[in-house]
Amino acid sequence: MAQSARFALADWGTTRLRVWLSDAAGTVIDERRSDQGMAVCRNGGPQKFADVFESELTAMGASPDLPAVISGMAGARGGWREAAYMPTPAPVAQIADAAVIIDGVRPVAILPGVSQNEPADVMRGEEVQIAGSGLREGWICLPGTHSKWVWLESGRIVRFTTFMTGELFSLLSRQSILTASIDASRTVEKNDAHFIAGVRQMVDREIDLSAALFSIRAGGILHDADNGANAARLSGLLIGAEVAAAKAEGPIRLIADDRLGALYAAAFATVGREYEVIDAERATRQGLIAAAQKIYEGRT
Amino acid sequence: MAQSARFALADWGTTRLRVWLSDAAGTVIDERRSDQGMAVCRNGGPQKFADVFESELTAMGASPDLPAVISGMAGARGGWREAAYMPTPAPVAQIADAAVIIDGVRPVAILPGVSQNEPADVMRGEEVQIAGSGLREGWICLPGTHSKWVWLESGRIVRFTTFMTGELFSLLSRQSILTASIDASRTVEKNDAHFIAGVRQMVDREIDLSAALFSIRAGGILHDADNGANAARLSGLLIGAEVAAAKAEGPIRLIADDRLGALYAAAFATVGREYEVIDAERATRQGLIAAAQKIYEGRT
């Protein structure tokens, strides 16, 4: 398989690394996933990133001269090599033009992220997913540890906002007073009534998030509320608060994996928002392939 | 000193234990503080609480027949002995009547907390501070790890709301993506412009809390924002969100220690709210003394 490979592509996130090989036409012919994310690699400096990346490619049988493109945290300060942010308004199709090229074992192009000056905000990786989605106008929601809501005009990221939804869920369910009342290992189902009720409470602004959180603990003490139901309620409250705060209008394009895509879609449906789901991994691969074709083959 | 002692009094919180000896007239004649809070003691079961308490009293030279009164987490499930919550509307002057008495080395009265059925909420300790404050009407704010806002009518706690403000500050400043941009050891000053700006942004609802949080990290990356200033900003955002969400009207009585009292007072002043500060520790002692006099001397 690796013989027909033309590009090595990677999305290097905080907690995981995903690598693909594609042929010249952009068809993916192999893939690997690793937990050697930015958080693990950063203490080893640039050499650690290089070693991890080469080790993944060797395991895939990739030729040493196969050129590579990487999006995500590898380009952050403290990553493999810093790739300065493109400021808004940022044309997503031109991200590849601002790549930083490392000439080591093979050429490795590190893609930049996008920054917004005021209110201060940053992204690394989502801009490649947006480029890969082919979208050019309107609201895009990219849920995750740090969810992004992006307003796109003529293929440019004009403004965006980050919500710490996924990280707050993790902190509150695993490390706070709420932990005793929440089963964080339980998968929240999109049609769980506690999830839906949490979404609705936040979107209708019945109660503020900061006041709603402790009621999960108190409900556990007073009413023996089920810890699985409480996990669903916390998820609904946090996603509902995000949807309410995003103040997006019109249809929303949701670039997400299956799990978060289903939850956010259920939240949008609950509050009567029009939406369309786009597979996040496919968007990432498409964005990386387009960047590789531009950088290494001069295609525009 | 201990010879004239008539009562042993304690406030047993999650992280610390404070013990006082008072004479029959209610004058405090000695005090001790320990870090043997509920969180440390709960794994040792009831005997651990008894041992820790007797060890503190022995160190103070208290007579073995000195009767004791304890407020706070010692009465929680998993504490020394559970003292069931008084439901709202809860007359704070009658808390002593619902005490659970342990007959061990000495009589030890464990005071109950107060619960609210819907929205589910609980308190343990604040109700004794309110009783000790002598207040009977209006809004009371008790800031802390889990801040309480209490509406009082004719000496009864009619309704209340808990905000996880202090715990969120701790989680976000010490264990989140924001940690790299925040100096959590820095004491936030009440007149810090970043604190005041954060309060104002939340009270004016310029931006939602969940969106404002990540801007602290992004500001650190893009604008090299000072980590001390960011600590002040996070504190201002969280306290401002609490003040906005509490929706209290009219003058606010602030039962607080010096540090939090100064910050909350500055927040109230910033948004033009009328307030009065009441020393939290004095209120705790007064509430415990009144309970002891009622339980052991039949005073009403």
Give the per-residue pLDDT at A156: 98
Q: What is the spatial distance between Cα B203 and Cα B236, in angstroms, rounded to a whole number? A: 10
**Same domain membership, residue A253 and residue A229:** yes
**Same domain membership, residue A193 and residue A112:** no
Angstrom distances, CA of residue A98 to CA of A26, A49, A95, A114? 21, 20, 6, 11
> Is the CA virtual torsion A232, A206, B214, A11 positive or negative?
positive
For residue range B13-32, list pLDDT tens digits in order.
988 999 999 998 899 999 99
Residue of B nearest to A244 (CA): B208
Contacts of A244 in chain B (CB under 8 A): 208
Query: Which is nearest to A127 in space by CA: A163, A164, A89?
Result: A89
- A231 close to A188: Cβ distance less than 8 angstroms: yes
By the 10 Å C-beta count (0-12 exposed, 13-18 middle, 19+ buried), B223 is classed as exposed
User: Quick check: is A132 in a domain?
Assistant: no
CATH of the domain at A105: 3.30.420.300
Contacts of B221 in chain A (CB under 8 A): 77, 115, 120, 122
For residue range B34-74, list pLDDT tens digits in order.
999 998 999 999 999 999 999 999 999 999 999 999 999 99
How near does any CA of chain A get to the CA of B12, in Å?
A: 17
Cβ separation B211–A238 shorter than 8 A: no
User: Quick check: is A239 in a domain?
Assistant: yes
> Is the CA virtual torsion B266, B269, B271, B275 positive or negative?
positive
Cβ separation A163–B221 shorter than 8 A: no
Tokens of B221: 């990356």
Q: Is the pLDDT of residue B1 over 60?
A: no
- Cβ within 8 Å of B, A 127-146: 146
CB-closest option in A115, A215, A217 to B222: A115
User: Quick check: is A139 in a domain?
Assistant: no
**Same domain membership, residue A243 and residue A273:** yes
Please report, rounded to a whole number, the percentage of residues in chain A having pLDDT higher than 70. 99
- A28 close to A86: Cβ distance less than 8 angstroms: no
**Same domain membership, residue A196 and residue A248:** yes
Give the per-residue pLDDT at A99: 97
**Same domain membership, residue A264 and residue A221:** yes
A194 and chain B in contact, CB less than 8 A: no
Give the per-residue pLDDT at B18: 97
CB-closest option in A211, A222, A244 to B117: A222
The whole-chain average pLDDT of chain B stands at 94
Contacts 24+ apart (CB under 8 A), B123-126: B123/B148, B123/B150, B123/B160, B123/B162, B124/B71, B124/B72, B124/B73, B124/B75, B124/B76, B125/B11, B125/B13, B125/B71, B125/B72, B125/B73, B125/B284, B126/B150, B126/B255
Contacts of A241 in chain B (CB under 8 A): 208, 210
**Same domain membership, residue A291 and residue A265:** no
**Same domain membership, residue A103 and residue A180:** no
**Same domain membership, residue A107 and residue A44:** yes
- B222 close to A120: Cβ distance less than 8 angstroms: yes
Cβ separation A245–B208 shorter than 8 A: yes
**Same domain membership, residue A272 and residue A288:** no
Cβ separation B210–A164 shorter than 8 A: yes
Q: Is the pLDDT of residue B282 over 90?
A: yes
**Same domain membership, residue A200 and residue A113:** no
Give the per-residue pLDDT at B130: 98
Domains: count for chain A: 2
Contacts of B168 in chain A (CB under 8 A): 210
Cβ separation B211–A162 shorter than 8 A: yes
Interface test with B, best of A164, A194, A238 (most B CBs within 10 A): A164
**Same domain membership, residue A251 and residue A167:** yes
Contacts of A207 in chain B (CB under 8 A): 119
pTM of the model: 0.93
Give the per-residue pLDDT at A1: 53
Q: How would you write the pLDDT of chain A (300 residues) with one tens digit per residue?
A: 567 999 999 999 988 999 999 998 899 999 999 999 998 999 999 999 999 999 999 999 999 999 999 999 999 999 999 999 999 999 999 999 999 999 988 999 999 999 999 999 999 999 999 999 999 999 999 999 999 999 999 999 999 999 999 999 999 999 999 999 999 888 899 999 999 999 999 999 888 888 899 999 999 899 988 999 999 999 999 999 999 999 888 999 999 999 999 999 999 999 999 999 999 999 999 999 999 999 999 876
User: Quick check: is A124 in a domain?
Assistant: no
CB-closest option in B120, B213, B219 to A215: B120
CB-closest option in B119, B165, B210 to A242: B210
How near does any CA of chain A get to the CA of B122, in Å?
A: 6
CATH of the domain at A177: 3.30.420.310
Domain hosting A257: range is: 163-280
Cβ separation A210–B238 shorter than 8 A: yes
Cβ separation B162–A214 shorter than 8 A: yes
User: Quick check: is A227 in a domain?
Assistant: yes
Give the per-residue pLDDT at A208: 85
Q: Which helix (H) or strand (E) holds A19?
A: strand A17-22
User: Quick check: is A136 in a domain?
Assistant: no
Contacts of B242 in chain A (CB under 8 A): 210
Q: Is the pLDDT of residue B211 over 90?
A: no
Cβ neighbours for A11, distance < 8 A, ≥ 6 positions apart: A17, A18, A70, A71, A72, A125, A128, A284, A288
Q: Is the pLDDT of residue B4 over 70?
A: yes
User: Quick check: is A191 in a domain?
Assistant: yes
Q: What is the spatial distance between Cα A76 and Cα A112, in angstroms, rounded to a whole number? A: 8
**Same domain membership, residue A259 and residue A291:** no
Say what the alpha-carbon torsion angle B239, B245, B247, B253 is, to the nearest 10 degrees. Answer: -30
> Is the CA virtual torsion B240, B242, B246, B249 positive or negative?
negative
- Cβ within 8 Å of A, B 202-231: 207-215, 217-219, 221-223, 225
Give the per-residue pLDDT at B274: 95
Q: Is the pLDDT of residue B247 over 90?
A: no
Contacts of A218 in chain B (CB under 8 A): 115-116, 119-122, 162
Confidence of residue B229 (pLDDT cuts 50, 70, 90): very high
Give the per-residue pLDDT at B202: 94
User: Quick check: is A131 in a domain?
Assistant: no
Q: Is the pLDDT of residue B240 over 60?
A: yes
Interface test with A, best of B164, B206, B237 (most A CBs within 10 A): B164
